[in-house]
A = this chain, B = another copy of it.
Amino acid sequence: MSEARNVAFLGLGVMGGPMAGHLARNGHKVTVYNRTAAKAETFAARHPGARFAKTPREAAGGADIVFACVGNDDDLRAVTLSPEGAFAGMRPGAIFVDHTTASAEVARELFAAAKALGLGAVDAPVSGGQAGAENGALTIMCGAEPEIYAQAEPVMAAYARACRLMGPPGSGQLTKMVNQIAIAGLIQSLSEALHFAKTAGLDAAAVIDLIKNGAAQSWQMENRTKTMLAGEFDHGFAVEWMRKDLAICLAEARRSGAKLPIAALVDQFYAEVEAMGGKRWDTSSLIARLER
């Protein structure tokens, strides 16, 4: 357990809420802010010593580290750069750690803004989902200056299974993008495989049970096949969130010149899933599109 610090946490959603809880249980003095204030009040009531604030600026006052886990680039700019944003309240030398999955561009923009104010900044998107947040077993991918990272890392340990500095500011977001790109076509291929198996009259579960020992194996195959075959799509990351992430990937690829033909096509497939009413289904719902 790290030395107790004064910390602020902005955004108490399905990820941020449990993460802030781990910080409080690890002995840090936590002040929370949430756009819907009731959540912040409830959090403070449930965690001894925790307080809530009415603005990010107020939450950030006196904090050594300010964490954020919000929806997207615009939400992130609002809680940091606006007049009532955190940056206006942070003391020089304090560090901003962003757990939002956002663009590498906004990560660099916030780093520059922080630097100008004498603040540190770490872009630190996570993977592991709601369960990972609740169990304190997230993978955290960081972009930062090494000396800033070194200060933030012991505090993030409260909810990390693995936490790694991947490079300069923006590198955390870029690493998270690599993860999402690898997953997109993988789930589509698994969907096609299961769909093909069912159409061929095979026992798809028995097929997976056999082939999962070989070169087709994946975490998705081991953990999502059963629910996919049952048509249950409420076991993880939602389609609309995945589309947000893929939009970030595709925009970054447009800048860097990287070619992502399958990621781009799977994004379009997810658009069709959304049109089927699947915005909130989990990412494995690509199979539902094949089975219309």
A→B interface (CB under 8 Å): 104, 127-129, 139, 141, 161-162, 164, 166-167, 171, 174-175, 177-186, 188-190, 192-197, 199-204, 206-207, 210-211, 213-221, 223, 236-237, 249, 252-253, 256-263, 265-266, 269, 290
Q: Are A190 and B196 in contact (CB under 8 A)?
A: no
Q: Are A196 and B215 in contact (CB under 8 A)?
A: no
Query: From A104, which residue of chain B is reached at the shortest CB distance?
Result: B200
Expressed in whole angstroms, the Cα–Cα distance for A189 and B267 within the complex equals 13
Task: Return 26 A-B CB contacts under 8 Å, by A number.
Answer: A128-B214, A161-B213, A164-B210, A166-B207, A174-B197, A174-B201, A174-B202, A175-B207, A175-B210, A175-B211, A178-B196, A178-B207, A179-B214, A182-B192, A185-B189, A185-B192, A186-B189, A186-B218, A189-B263, A192-B261, A196-B249, A199-B257, A217-B219, A218-B218, A218-B219, A262-B265
Expressed in whole angstroms, the Cα–Cα distance for A279 and B214 within the complex equals 23
Most buried by B among A178, A180, A203: A178
Q: Are B167 and A203 in contact (CB under 8 A)?
A: yes
Copies of this chain, count: 2
Known: A162-B213, A175-B210, A219-B217. A181 touches B192 (CB 8 A): yes
Q: Are A219 and B210 in contact (CB under 8 A)?
A: no
Task: Summarize A's interface: helix, strand, loop or mixed.
Answer: helix
Q: Are B258 and A200 in contact (CB under 8 A)?
A: yes
Query: From A289, which residue of chain B is reached at the shortest CB distance?
Result: B259
Q: Shortest distance in angstroms between A168's beta carbon and chain B's nearest beta carbon?
A: 9
Expressed in whole angstroms, the Cα–Cα distance for A285 and B190 within the complex equals 20
